[in-house]
Structure 1
């Protein structure tokens, strides 16, 4: 009876093995067309958990197969039965593992040649083991065939396992510890390039294991400058000059528990210094060619990077010992960074960078390292005169940056004991010429004072420069005053640029005395003919405003573009007719009328991600108005990022009627499509038509069916992303 039951189990397992082989062949043949439902994704993610089981069983079976034809083993029923069961169980579990792996490979983030080799080698292991199981009792299956097949199978199994490790842990995972032993010496600071020697090493250590040519997670490769520029499936990695809008920094700053946090939980995380370097690099326009020494001596990125290299210049000799490393580490946190001034130097530089968490006590906390602090950056912190008393404790301080703080001349008097102070940055404060007399007299080592945008007038600076020739006074200019500073662009001050009633446009600038000129016709504003913004401009219709800032003694700013959108009607309810893309759900149908505008980053955190998107179907939804409205125009605000396949809709259909069942086509329009790769932009595509009285409005926007021939992904469907709809 027991024998009969065993035979039934074996027979059932053999049938299941055959079915798995057929199913696997189908999956392999139609992998690109397979859409894995959500409930099956969980099954696919069991692939890494199960794969070790068939690996062990098949290796054991292949090892025993080599000795199967020995006379003693040929007559050993237990040996033969056990080996047969190993083959069947190993082959069946290998097949199930392959199916799970194929499901898993359909999820986003699994691309690259390593994945393809792993997929096909894994499938080959399964089919070979299944074939050997069925062929083992054939007459042609001799000892030579058995041994050869076992050796080939074992090699194939090891190769597939290695490729799986590459997909999971990255290329060179096995030899990485050995490679680190041969790590070259850091280049001298004067030869170091910011990207090559500061930024790229961070990617190499923390990111490349998942983003390389072999494991192209998210279609993103971080192995070279060109790939970093290109970005990945989710778009550009960064917006030059705007770390707050850059996908790279947003993913890094997500909570570690978040799925999209990078590096993933369980991987080696970025240090505070590495995060600061990436942020500063992006903020500095993400230059790929600039050397570290090309940055100003006071630049924060240069100061942090200096600790990574041999010094390019003569480093001061200090007569104090280095601070305790544990103490320095303890004092560094999410609002204050403490770094060695240079490699092997005991001197420390302190940077405060979070206004909300700053308090006078934070300066007093540094008393344990007061001898080692030679550079202190309090730029834009809410520092008062009382705080400068705490600053005076740093007896070896060389550089002090209190730009744009609340200090006055009275506070400067407390710095008299800083006999080593050489640089004092006072820009953006209320300091006057008379306030400087005592500090100049009591600070014997002073060599540079920054005074632009203060109460010190240009004539006063000239007099100071004549009287104190050993000190350089900087006022409104940089360096030797040969080149004025370029103003920042103006800023829009309205809490929202979406309005339903006439709106008073509000523009501003952080620097006092700046004149803002603007245009509304798309032309570039100039300093002579364009209207001057006075605060009296009232907007009654949607408008695109271009504005520039001007001030005597400064270069005019770059033009800033501000789009204002009028929307008269907000529906009482909205229903999607077709599903949104899994990644770009936003707030569902409510997204289109919530008054929140998305940014040039379709994968930013939830608080900024307001993009609803489609790719595999149309974007279609119906809006209901309980009271009939008279509508004459509709516009959809979309993102266009041609390089990554985010295109405008090919056609937009507007339907309306008194009931959901009686809607008629009101109009259609076709937005112009990109003809080449353009910089990313945000556009509102709309049209006007004869006024229609309706209670229901249906909008259908169709994504690009096939990307054009010039595109890297030609022939594939384009993405369509919409964040807001304006009905007037």
Structure 2
């Protein structure tokens, strides 16, 4: 009787109903305890002839009947939320009701209330108590099945006991071929499916499909839930599968539910990237696009060479031969990483071996100059930094200038100006700089001529002029400048901005 849940109603229940229904797992333990105590006392009385107060057993039976009735009512309310196997639910329902009914009968006989109506009522006592206890065990098993799956009690049953009990052989655990070369890994089978099985399938399987959703097979994933599809191919951030993972953990709709093992940031990024690529079930990593955001997450999954940067991957990030990407660094202090996370920043490893980090403020739009003072604490490890669309000003760039191994910097849609750029001259490895939507002018571009490693810069919607960009290109012929000069370049920036936006959404 671990989870008494009755028939699901078609109308959406009110919050009050679901609120009280969630007390069922708490209340349901009361009749279990009361009935077991009553049964043990009666067994002791019959076998050892010990005298037990009639009033004591009567009181225990009374509260067992009351609590069993309450458990039925709250279980009904809980069932209105839906998502349970119908056949198991029906059996659980009627057996739970049976526990309450026979508990009342046992109490009525023991207290002699029925004796006034039926002369033979005393003959009903032990059968009623026995049936209540048998039903209690059976409905408790079904409740466990509803909550944890049909193999919850037998999942780890040793072979000999399994044979004696007549339990079918254990279903093999999900076997995933190890990733030796991430470029050749199957996106769904080796990357996405293991995430779903470790975090989602426990509640969305053949035995328990909350909200009518199953995530254990490709066909069921495509089918979606009772509310419709759970993903929109090509739009990860707009898909319900991702949205529910990004809700606050205290939100009733957050998944996995509070108290369950939560998805890691990298796992959410992988699921989002998979949907962004059209949610393929039969493609390899080398067959789809790999953007800058997902590159370090994929690299952390397994061995093999660097992720391919060919046409099929469509990447736009810095070249893999950049010296800073192969540089061995000391591991970051976990306490310092936690400080950044408390400020709302995402901290992801670029590789397992070199200890470089990517820090992103995609979930911290209010990140400001004061909080930026945390960045230099990881001055060696931070290689990629994304502060776009935050509240930072030039004051933050004084802190950024201390990140000696910084290779990629996002400052788009911030309040930085020419004065801030002057502070970055010491960043010898900086290759990528996004200044889209900032107040940078031609004077700031002139200072960039000293950035010898700079390869790509975004200047769309800044205060620079055509002449300023021409001067910069003259000083740095190999620099890729994307700004507001031609329609072709405007189209290139729009494409690049879309890639960056999608990358940011993948980290949420």
Q: TM-score, normalised by structure 2?
A: 0.63
Matched, 1:119 2:93: yes
The answer to whether residue 456 in structure 2 is matched with residue 449 in structure 1 is: yes
Deviations 1:539-578 (A, max 9, x none): xxxxxxxxxxx99867999xxxxxxxxxxxxxxxxxxxxx
Q: What does residue 295 of structure 2 align with? A: 302
User: Could you tell me whether the CA contact under 8 Å between 2:369 and 2:391 is conserved in 1?
Assistant: no
Q: Structure 2: how far apart are the matches of 1:43 and 1:552?
A: 57
Mapping for residues 319-358 of structure 1, pairs under 5 Å = 319-333=328-342, 335-353=344-362, 356-358=365-367
- State how far apart, in whole Å, the 2-side matches of 1:68 and 1:382 are: 75
Please report how far the alpha carbon of residue 416 of structure 1 lies from its aligned counterpart in structure 2 after TM superposition: 4.0
Q: Using a 3 Å threshold, how does the CA distance of structure 1 residues 394 and 93 change in structure 2: closer, same or farther?
A: same
Match of 1:418 among 424, 427, 430: 427
Secondary structure of the 1:400 match is strand
Cα distance 1:90–1:193, how it changes in 2: closer, same or farther (>3 A)?
farther
Q: Paired residue for 2:163?
A: none
Separation of aligned partners in 1, 2:465 and 2:149: 58
Give me the whole-angstrom Cα distance separating, in 1, the residues matched to 2:274 and 2:147.
Answer: 29
User: Pick from 215, 225, 230: which aligns with 2:208?
Assistant: 215
2:50 matched to 1:53? no
User: Where do residues 324-723 of structure 1 align in structure 2 (5 Å cutoff)?
Assistant: 324-333=333-342, 335-353=344-362, 356-380=365-389, 387-402=396-411, 414-424=423-433, 442-443=451-452, 448-450=455-457, 453=460, 473=480
Is the alpha carbon distance of 1:400 and 1:35 closer, same or farther for their aligned partners in structure 2, counting shifts above 3 Å? closer
Q: Deviations over 1:682-727 (max 9, x none)?
A: xxxxxxxxxxxxxxxxxxxxxxxxxxxxxxxxxxxxxxxxxxxxxx
Provide the C-alpha distance between the structure 2 equivalents of 1:357 and 1:37, rounded to a whole number of angstroms. 35
1:92 alignment partner, SS class: helix
| Contact 1:277-1:301 within 8 A present in 2 as well | yes
Change in 2 beyond 3 A, CA 1:187/1:166:
farther
Unaligned runs of 5+ in 1: 1-23, 477-510, 515-549, 558-728
Cα deviation 1:607-629 (Å, max 9, x = unaligned): xxxxxxxxxxxxxxxxxxxxxxx
TM-score normalised by length of structure 1: 0.47
Task: Please state whether the residue corresponding to 2:294 is helix, strand or coil.
Answer: helix
* Residue pair 1:354, 1:381 contacting (<8 A) in 2 also: no
Once residues 402 and 196 of structure 1 are traced to their aligned partners in structure 2, the CA distance between those partners, rounded to angstroms, is 37
Would the aligned equivalents of 1:46 and 1:100 in 2 still touch at CA under 8 Å?
A: no
Matched, 1:107 2:80: yes
Which of these two proteins has the greater Rg computed from alpha carbons? 1
Separation in 2, partners of 1:391, 1:337 = 16
Shift in Å, 1:397: 2.0
**1:169-248 equivalent positions in 2, closer than 5 A:** 187-188=179-180, 189-193=182-186, 200-240=193-233, 245-248=238-241
**How far is the alpha carbon of 1:430 from its aligned partner?**
8.4
The CA deviation at 1:57 is: 3.3
- Are the counterparts in 1 of residues 34 and 63 from structure 2 also a CA contact under 8 Å? yes
- Give the secondary structure class of the aligned counterpart of 2:456: strand
CA positional deviation for 1:217:
2.5
Specify whether residues 391 and 69 from structure 1 end up closer, same or farther in structure 2 by C-alpha distance, changes over 3 A only.
Answer: closer
Q: Against the structure 1 CA distance between its residues 192 and 450, is the aligned structure 2 distance closer, same or farther, given a 3 Å change threshold?
A: farther
Q: What is the CA distance between 1:204 and its match in structure 2?
A: 4.2
Which segments of 5 or more consecutive residues in structure 2 lack a partner in the other structure? 111-118, 158-170, 308-319, 496-508
- The CA distance in 1 between the partners of 2:23 and 2:428, in whole Å, is 66
Q: Deviations over 1:301-331 (max 9, x none)?
A: 3334544544642995534311110111111
Q: Does 2:141 align with 1:162?
A: yes
Deviations 1:158-213 (A, max 9, x none): 3422332444456766689999x999796343354555555555544544444333
Do 2:233 and 2:275's aligned partners in 1 also have CA atoms closer than 8 Å? yes
Distance 2:459 2:288 in 1: 20
Q: Give the root-mean-square deviation of aligned CA atoms.
A: 5.7
State the secondary structure of the residue aligned to 2:358.
Answer: strand
Closer, same or farther: CA 357–403 of 1 in aligned 2, 3 Å: closer
Q: How does 1:262-301 map to 2 (within 5 A)?
A: 262-270=255-263, 291=284, 298-301=291-294
> Could you tell me whether the CA contact under 8 Å between 1:40 and 1:103 is conserved in 2?
no
Secondary structure at the aligned position of 1:396 is classed as coil
The answer for the alignment partner of 2:504 in structure 1 is none
Secondary structure in 2 aligned to 1:350? strand
State which drifts further: 389-398 or 245-254.
245-254
Cα 1:299/1:435, change in 2 over 3 Å:
same
**Equivalent residue pairs, number:** 445
Secondary structure of the corresponding residue to residue 376 of structure 1: strand
Q: Take 2:361 and 2:348, find their aligned partners in 1: how far apart are those partners?
A: 12
More strand by share: 1
